[in-house]
Homo-oligomer: A and B are copies of this chain.
Amino acid sequence: MKKEPYKTEKDFLKAYDANAFDRPNVSVDTVIFTVSGGVLKTLIMKRENHPAQGQWSLVGGFIDVHNDQELLDTAKRKLKEKTGVKTPYLEQFCSFGSKSRDPRGWSVTTVYFALIPSEGVELEAGQGATDIKWSAVTDGKVKEKLAFDHAHILEECTERLKSKVLYTSLPVHLMPEEFTLAELQNVYEIIMGAAMDHKSFRRRILRADILEETGKMKDTGRRPAMLYRRNGNENTHFFVRNIESAQMK
Tell me the A residues contacting B by CB distance below 8 Å: 6, 9, 12-13, 16, 18-19, 21-26, 50-53, 62-63, 65-66, 68-71, 92, 94-100, 103-106, 108, 110, 240-242, 244, 247
Please tell me if the beta carbons of A98 and B110 are within 8 angstroms of each other in the complex: no
Complex CA distance for A66 and B22, rounded to whole angstroms: 9
Contact A23 B25 (CB under 8 A): yes
Tally of this chain's copies: 2
CB pair A51–B13 under 8 Å, yes or no, is yes
How far is A38 from B68 in the complex, measured between Cα atoms in Å? 43
Chain A binding surface SS class:
loop
Find chain B residues with CB under 8 A from A53 CB.
Answer: 9, 12
> Among B70, B92, B106, which residue has its beta carbon within 8 angstroms of that of A63?
B106
A73's closest neighbor in chain B, by CB? B98
The residue among A16, A97, A100, A242 with the most chain B CB atoms within 10 A of its own CB is A97
Q: In the complex the two chains form, is B50's CB within 8 Å of A13's CB? A: yes
Q: Are A108 and B26 in contact (CB under 8 A)?
A: yes
Checking B13, B66, B96, B247 against A104 with a beta-carbon cut-off of 8 angstroms, the contacting residue is B13
